[in-house]
Amino acid sequence: MAAPTFSAITLHVNGEKHTLTVDHRTTLLDALRERLDLTGTKKGCDQGQCGACTVLVDGRRTVSCLQLAVAAEDREITTVEGIADGERLHPVQQAFLDLDGFQCGYCTPGQICSAVAVLREHAAGWPSAATADVRPEAGPPPLTDEEIRERMSGNLCRCGAYVSIVQAVARAAASGQQAEEAAA
């Protein structure tokens, strides 16, 4: 008997469980958009090159177009719909609004999910290709505009709203730091 080419799976998305049967060929991107009606995540190139489909899987940013839905079972998925704290926007979302970090907006959900993860990666001390000295002794690199551009390079914006996107990520980073200092 031929092995089945579809499976009943449970996806954990934005804190909710969804049980569905998927053809194994279904990407996480298509499952989110076509099956769960979470259309915030956008399909751009569908080849892992544009970043419009960026979501967080177990807290890490990934491109959902190259992630098979069946392989995402039992992992915590956060889409742009799950970034805010209820009605309170995430600092990255607020900064994109305040600083016009978009034009047409199509790439924005991916930019926002990516930026949220960039701030986490930076806070965890991860270096980037823009980091002059990657040795841990050198300490965490300051989040300069050059660092932001490099770290956000997996998200393309055809409108070219990059200047404002860099400003928005920098402001969100600064507001996050202020919140931390206030808490301390």
Partner 1 sequence: MREFAYQRARDVAGAVALLGADPHAAFLGGGTNLVDLMKTGVERPARLVDIRELPLDTVESTPEGGLRIGATVTNGDLAAHPEVRRRYPALAQAVLAGASGQLRNMATVGGNLLQRTRCGYFTDVTQPCNKRLPGSGCPALTGEHRNHAVLGASEHCVAVHPSDMAVALTAFDAVVHYETADGRGELPLADLYLPVGDTPHRETALPAGALITGVTLPPAPVAAHSRYRKVRERASYAFALGSVAAALDVRDGVVHDVRLALGAVASRPWRARAAERRLAGAPAGADTFAAAADAELAAARPLPHNGYKVTLMRNLLVAVLTELAEEAAR
Residues of this chain that bind partner 1 (CB under 8 A): 2-5, 7, 23-25, 27, 46-48, 51, 54, 57, 60-63, 66-68, 70-71, 114, 117-118, 121, 124-129, 131, 134-137, 149-151, 153-155
Cβ distance to partner 1 smaller for residue 97 or 125: 125
Backbone conformation region of residue 62, classed left if phi is above 0, alpha if psi is from -120 to 50, else beta: beta
Cβ distance to partner 1 smaller for residue 124 or 182: 124
Q: Choose among 81, 65, 89, 80: nearest CA to 111.
A: 80
Shortest spacing between CB 4 and partner 1, in angstroms? 6
Instruction: Look up residue 22 and give its DSSP letter.
Output: E
Shortest spacing between CB 91 and partner 1, in angstroms? 19
Cβ distance to partner 1 smaller for residue 51 or 91: 51
Residues near 43 by beta carbon (within 8 Å), at least 6 away in sequence: 29, 30, 33, 52, 53, 65
Shortest spacing between CB 54 and partner 1, in angstroms? 6
Give 109: exposed, middle or buried? Use CB within 10 Å, 0-12, 13-18, 19+.
buried
Cβ distance to partner 1 smaller for residue 118 or 173: 118
Shortest spacing between CB 154 and partner 1, in angstroms? 2
Give 106: exposed, middle or buried? Use CB within 10 Å, 0-12, 13-18, 19+.
middle
